[in-house]
């Protein structure tokens, strides 16, 4: 049978990945290859008086400095009225704006020697005042275009908050701060750039989530024709958003390659560089004022959100990335008529903030759920019940959120109820009361509901007003002369198993075996177009394109088969690579024979049939598919040390139609682990001078398998209105843990949690008060 | 994150090691497990000009039960400690060190010579009154753990010394408690208590530049005080500093709790003698 869609079929990529034969950028070796190392700023904010590379050059190193590429700058563009456009140099020349910013590059025979070369470069810094915190008054402008450091400010409004905030039964304020952290994929950034001057072409092998976007923007930044640029993303070891950015290091590598034709230049980022200079995220403050009716109905929310966007407006996504997502999704799966939310992105002398799995929503869910936890405590309503009274329900669909995004889901309470049942909510409440009475270690229950906006089409992706809309992807499905298929998809994979899911989709649509479908990804010379992996978009959009393209090929196969066997096309169906006529138990013709005719036997081709069996189709869902989710956990607090033990952790999500259960559960588990890291461990701390404290994984604590509890994961499956019925599932898991764990600790101690991460030290401090 | 250039010598004997170390006059480092040294070299925080690899020297990898003690050679790995049953305190302490890969390569003697203030084994060494066999240019000498640790990553060992073995006396009762952010991290606080010849030692790690005996707490116990009294005394006699993972007050509280737990594990000061 060919029914692999919806089953946990063996992943196509696993043989090479699990046996250590994946091919990553780091594995790439080319003739004449040279290695580069970046000299990074030791200051957070300083004029560069002089960058003296003479000693390095005298020692035989090829060195590039900011002066070499001063004509190139990266300017993330948005049409939003308040957005201030600023420039990011590819190598700093006039001044540096964060510690870790690239200043110069050394080219050498290997990375060891390149780092020796870095030690020979002398930089003369003239320190400037440093701004680290986005909500304290700025010490000095980071960019001359924005004297107040505000790169973007926008207010979302719906209804009127004024009356509710004065007249309601319950009105309260909360201030919440989330911790700067970052994705930390197993493979850091990496690239190999080669300029072939025999054909005037640039090839850039890059650990990227966005090969086509990279091609498009490299061509523009380097002044090349798009056809002169080829971007290849081979196996990529995790992305989580951090690799959907076009970084100055990428552009520098390609600029250097042009200056050194025929010499492949390789840069494999190390972990220290990654911690310093790859995209950070989630450094936010939420000032909230909420109004509730006595029955627990949320009446109004007035919010002021400041996002620390770091030194530069992240290219090409802009400094609006986090603030706009925060304002657009803050209210999440809750009904609300009166909403006012001012969001701003503020530049500081810290590493640029960029996309990280969940973009802002782990923080907004934390903020929103903190409001409900506060209201539940003040109104003495069970927290689960309070959520029931406010969540968007299926009857409300389509529900226009106060930010005017349209929710197509509404299945939140079903997820919540399943999660509460799975965790044994009533029993846990009884246990909690028993412990309180017995003076045993306190236990708390936390919960979160969320709506993950996935698969954004052109309408849903219009918000940031960038000069492109990320609503579509292309896919080419080619049936080969042997009746098997080659798929060239515009999706990109960083370990999520896209080769597998695309093959499942095409096998299903064509009626051939999963093993008879080969999928090729990541090469812009092969695939027509794909925006890449972000916003939980690829199974919806790239999957939709694969489904549509395969459908066109199937239709042509059937039409050709009908002519060849002289049957009505309506009576034909494909099963396991064979064409059957309705009512007949035996196949009438094989796909291999039909395909052979299409390519090799034009003598048998019916009138009007063009040879070949191939289709390329785009898909754009126009809107998005919201994926509902609920997470519930119970924690125990060690009152002597502040240590937390997670007793249970349950997640119930709606992935729509599940294409591959194990991949979906892997996405959810990994996302929850990253969320748990953000809630309890991961914190990028700058000192007042703008130096990143620590700077290795000795101090930047990521959860390991020992810290992640056993997760109970369950699904509801409410198909979305797209060709496959799927809802994205890549990010949802990250949205819950901050809220759930902070809520559980609050529930255990009776003390509101206002900042993350929650650590033994913070819990211990709360216990002292 | 690549080391600066260095020479590599694979030593065939203890004598060769000592002579290479002496020749380098302070610029050489011994490579045993490399679990601390190599990352420091990669960050270019350590820049030895010569690395003397002792891994091929014969007869340094034994764990021997001797009279009232367990002696481990310079190439005994943390993993060998978790696998042995002769010295349960060492087995327990070694389980808290890093992760499998680290325990498989890292050496016991290396950890003690490296003297990280938050590492487990220096605390155990001080608590059990361990002694190190040290071979230098002027021959062999025995250095007590009491005389070994002088500061963070600093010992009384000379640059040309090699620790060939460490002898850990077997306590009649012992307790081990550690608090770290994650399993396998360097400790925020480690507390080890060991009873030897009817004297109880309490040693804390992670709370200062070197592992520190909580002598006031020991005195409380000697005077018949409870574990709780001793824990409170220990918290008062140390002088921890705050860092990314918590304030000084937090560390003091954790230290008291770890002492309490270590003593409970040892069955010392629990109210009924």
DSSP line for B200-215: EEEEEESSSSS-EE-H
In this predicted structure, what is the pLDDT of residue B272? 56
Contact A112 B5 (CB under 8 A): yes
CB A505 within 8 Å of CB A724: yes
Name the token pair of A476. 């080419």
When CB atoms are compared, the residue of A111, A640, A759 closest to B245 is A759
Q: Which residues of B touch A (CB under 8 A)?
A: 1-5, 39, 43-44, 99, 179, 181-186, 244-247, 250, 253-254, 257, 260
| Residues in B touching A698 (Cβ below 8 Å) | 186
Q: Give residues with Cβ within 8 angstroms of B163, minimum separation 6.
A: B74, B109, B112, B113, B132, B133, B134, B157
From the CA of B259, how many Å to the nearest CA of chain A? 12
From the CA of B44, how many Å to the nearest CA of chain A? 10
Single pTM value for the model: 0.97
Contact B244 A685 (CB under 8 A): yes
Contact A642 B181 (CB under 8 A): no
Contact B253 A698 (CB under 8 A): no
B54: left (phi over 0), alpha (psi -120 to 50) or beta: alpha
Which of B245, B256, B259 to probe by mutation at the A interface, max A CB count within 10 Å? Answer: B245
For residue A420, which phi and psi values (nearest 5 degrees)?
-65, -40
Q: Which of A353, A354, A352, A347 is nearest to A130 (CA)?
A: A347
Distance from the first to the final alpha carbon of chain A: 64
From the CA of A42, how many Å to the nearest CA of chain B? 15
| Residues in A touching B254 (Cβ below 8 Å) | 641, 760, 764
Q: Per-residue confidence of chain B (273 residues) as pLDDT tens digits?
A: 999 999 999 999 999 999 999 999 999 999 999 999 999 999 999 999 999 999 999 999 999 999 999 999 999 999 999 999 999 999 999 999 999 999 999 999 999 999 999 999 999 999 999 999 999 999 999 999 999 999 999 999 999 999 999 999 999 999 999 999 998 998 999 999 999 998 999 999 999 999 999 999 999 999 999 999 999 999 999 999 998 889 999 999 999 999 999 999 999 999 754
Q: Which residues of A touch B (CB under 8 A)?
A: 111-112, 115-116, 270-273, 640-643, 681, 683, 685, 693-694, 696, 698-699, 701, 703-704, 706-707, 759-761, 764-765
Residue A3 and residue A9: Cα distance in Å, rounded? Answer: 10
DSSP per residue, A302-361 = EEEEEEEEESS--TTT-TTHHHHHHHHHTTTTB--SEEEEEEEEEE-SSPPB---TTTTH
What sign has the CA pseudo-torsion A745, A749, A754, A756? negative
Q: Give residues with Cβ within 8 angstroms of A187, minimum separation 6.
A: A24, A25, A26, A207, A236, A237, A238
For residue B147, which phi and psi values (nearest 5 degrees)?
-105, 10
B25: left (phi over 0), alpha (psi -120 to 50) or beta: left
CB A403 within 8 Å of CB A325: no
Distance from the first to the final alpha carbon of chain B: 55
From the CA of A431, how many Å to the nearest CA of chain B? 26
Contact B43 A112 (CB under 8 A): no
Q: What is the ipTM of this complex?
A: 0.95
**Element of type H or E holding B22:** helix B14-24
| Closest chain B residue to the Cα of A685, Cα to Cα | B244
| Residues in A touching B182 (Cβ below 8 Å) | 681, 701, 703-704, 706-707
In this predicted structure, what is the pLDDT of residue A461? 87
From the CA of B203, how many Å to the nearest CA of chain A? 19
| Residues in B touching A707 (Cβ below 8 Å) | 182-183
From the CA of B180, how many Å to the nearest CA of chain A? 10
For residue A435, which phi and psi values (nearest 5 degrees)?
-60, -40
In this predicted structure, what is the pLDDT of residue B273? 46
In this predicted structure, what is the pLDDT of residue A1? 41
In this predicted structure, what is the pLDDT of residue A278? 98
Which of B103, B249, B254 to probe by mutation at the A interface, max A CB count within 10 Å? Answer: B254
| Residues in B touching A693 (Cβ below 8 Å) | 244
Residue A353 and residue A365: Cα distance in Å, rounded? Answer: 19
For residue A478, which phi and psi values (nearest 5 degrees)?
-125, 120
Contact B246 A696 (CB under 8 A): no
| Residues in A touching B1 (Cβ below 8 Å) | 115, 270-273
Give pLDDT < 70 ranges for chain A: 1-2
Residue A329 and residue A449: Cα distance in Å, rounded? Answer: 12
When CB atoms are compared, the residue of A115, A759, A761 closest to B2 is A115
Q: Which of A519, A516, A483, A484 is nearest to A501 (CA)?
A: A519
CB A662 within 8 Å of CB A670: no
Residue A613 and residue A477: Cα distance in Å, rounded? Answer: 8
């Amino acid at each position: 049978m060919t029914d692999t869609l919806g089953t946990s079929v063996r992943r196509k990529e696993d043989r090479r990945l699990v046996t250590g034969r994946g091919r990553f950028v780091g594995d790439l070796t080319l003739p004449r290859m040279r290695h580069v190392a970046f000299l990074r700023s030791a200051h957070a904010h300083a004029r560069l008086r002089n960058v003296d590379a003479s000693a390095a050059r005298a020692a035989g190193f090829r060195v590039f400095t900011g002066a070499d590429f001063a004509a190139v700058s990266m300017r993330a563009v948005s049409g939003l009225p308040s957005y201030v456009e600023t420039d990011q140099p590819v190598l700093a020349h006039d001044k540096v704006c964060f510690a870790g910013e690239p200043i110069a590059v050394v080219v050498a025979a290997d990375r060891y020697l390149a780092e020796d070369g870095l030690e020979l470069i002398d930089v003369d810094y003239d320190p400037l005042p440093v701004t680290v915190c986005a909500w304290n008054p700025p010490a000095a402008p980071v960019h001359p275009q924005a004297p107040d450091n505000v790169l973007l400010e926008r207010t979302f409004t719906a209804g009127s908050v004024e009356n509710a905030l004065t007249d309601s039964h319950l009105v309260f304020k909360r201030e919440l701060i989330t911790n700067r952290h970052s994705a930390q994929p197993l493979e850091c950034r990496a690239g190999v750039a080669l300029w072939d001057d025999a054909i005037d072409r640039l090839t850039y092998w890059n650990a990227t989530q966005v090969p086509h976007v990279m091609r498009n923007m490299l061509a523009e930044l380097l002044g090349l024709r798009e056809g002169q640029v080829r971007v290849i993303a081979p196996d990529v070891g995790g992305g989580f958003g951090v690799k959907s950015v076009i970084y100055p290091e990428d552009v520098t590598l390609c600029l250097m390659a042009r200056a050194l034709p025929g010499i492949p230049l390789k840069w494999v980022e190390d972990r220290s560089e990654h911690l310093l200079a790859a995209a950070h995220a989630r450094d936010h403050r939420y000032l909230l004022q909420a109004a509730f009716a006595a029955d627990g109905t949320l009446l109004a929310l007035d919010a002021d959100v400041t996002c620390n966007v770091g030194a530069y407006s992240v290219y090409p996504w802009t400094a609006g990335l986090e603030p706009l997502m925060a304002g657009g999704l803050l209210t999440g799966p809750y009904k609300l008529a009166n909403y006012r939310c001012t969001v701003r992105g503020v530049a500081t002398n810290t590493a640029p903030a960029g996309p990280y799995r969940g973009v802002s929503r782990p923080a907004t869910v934390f903020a929103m759920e903190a409001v409900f936890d506060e209201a539940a405590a003040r109104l003495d309503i069970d927290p689960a019940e309070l959520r029931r009274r406010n969540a968007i329900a299926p009857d409300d669909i389509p529900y226009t959120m106060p930010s005017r995004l349209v929710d197509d889901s509404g299945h939140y309470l079903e997820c919540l109820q399943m999660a509460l049942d799975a965790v044994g909510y009533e029993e846990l409440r009884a246990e909690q009361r028993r412990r309180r009475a017995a003076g045993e270690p306190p236990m708390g229950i936390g919960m979160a509901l969320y709506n993950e906006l996935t698969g954004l089409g052109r309408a849903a992706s219009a918000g940031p007003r960038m000069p492109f809309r990320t609503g579509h992807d292309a896919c080419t499905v080619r049936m080969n002369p042997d009746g098997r298929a080659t798929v060239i998809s515009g999706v990109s994979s960083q370990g999520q198993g896209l080769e597998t899911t695309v093959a499942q989709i095409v096998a299903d649509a064509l009626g051939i075996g999963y093993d008879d479908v080969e999928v090729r990804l990541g090469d812009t010379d092969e695939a027509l177009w794909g925006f890449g992996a972000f916003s939980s978009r690829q199974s919806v959009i790239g999957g939709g394109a694969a489904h549509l393209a395969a459908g066109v090929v199937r239709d042509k196969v059937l039409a050709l088969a009908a002519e060849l066997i002289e049957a009505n096309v309506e009576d034909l169906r494909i099963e396991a690579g064979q064409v059957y006529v309705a009512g007949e138990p035996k196949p009438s013709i094989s796909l291999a024979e039909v395909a052979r005719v299409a390519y090799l036997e034009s003598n048998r081709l019916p009138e009007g049939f063009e040879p070949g069996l191939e289709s390329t189709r785009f898909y754009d869902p126009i809107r998005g598919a919201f994926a509902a989710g609920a997470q519930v956990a119970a924690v125990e607090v060690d009152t002597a040390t502040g240590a937390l033990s997670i007793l249970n952790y349950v997640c119930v999500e709606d992935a729509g139609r599940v294409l591959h259960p194990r991949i979906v559960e892997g996405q959810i588990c990994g996302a929850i682990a990253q969320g748990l890291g953000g809630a309890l461990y991961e914190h990028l701390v700058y000192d007042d001078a703008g130096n990143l404290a620590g700077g290795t994984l000795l101090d930047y604590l990521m959860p390991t398998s020992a810290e992640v509890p056993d997760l109970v994961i369950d699904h509801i499956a409410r198909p979305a209105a797209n060709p496959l019925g799927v809802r994205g599932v890549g990010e949802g898991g990250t949205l819950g843990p901050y809220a759930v764990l902070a809520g559980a600790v609050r529930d255990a101690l009776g003390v509101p949690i206002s900042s993350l991460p929650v650590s033994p030290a913070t819990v211990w401090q709360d216990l002292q008060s | 994150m690549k080391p600066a250039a260095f020479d590599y010598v694979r030593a065939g004997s203890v004598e060769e090691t000592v002579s290479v170390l002496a020749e380098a006059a302070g610029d050489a480092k011994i490579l045993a497990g490399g679990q601390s040294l190599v990352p420091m070299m990669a960050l270019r925080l350590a820049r030895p000009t010569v690395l003397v690899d002792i891994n091929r020297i014969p007869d340094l990898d034994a764990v021997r039960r001797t009279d009232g003690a367990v002696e481990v050679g310079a190439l005994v790995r943390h993993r060998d400690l978790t696998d042995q049953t002769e010295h349960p305190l060492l087995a327990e302490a070694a389980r808290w060190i890093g992760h499998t890969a680290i325990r498989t390569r890292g050496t016991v003697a290396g950890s003690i010579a490296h003297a990280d203030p938050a590492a487990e084994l220096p605390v155990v060494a001080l608590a059990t009154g361990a002694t190190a066999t040290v071979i230098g240019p002027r021959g062999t000498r025995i250095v007590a753990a009491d005389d070994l640790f002088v500061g963070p990553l600093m010992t009384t060992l000379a640059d040309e010394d090699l620790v060939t073995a460490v002898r850990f006396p077997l306590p009649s009762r012992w307790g081990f408690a550690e608090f770290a952010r994650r399993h396998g991290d360097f400790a925020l606080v480690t507390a080890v208590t060991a009873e030897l010849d009817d004297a109880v030692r309490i040693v804390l790690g992670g709370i200062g530049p070197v592992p520190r005996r909580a002598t006031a707490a020991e005195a409380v116990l000697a005077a018949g005080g409870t574990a709780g009294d001793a824990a409170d005394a220990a918290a008062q006699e140390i002088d921890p500093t705050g860092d990314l993972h918590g304030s000084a007050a937090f560390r003091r509280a954790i230290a008291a709790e770890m002492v309490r737990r270590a003593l409970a594990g040892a069955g010392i000061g629990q109210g009924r003698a």
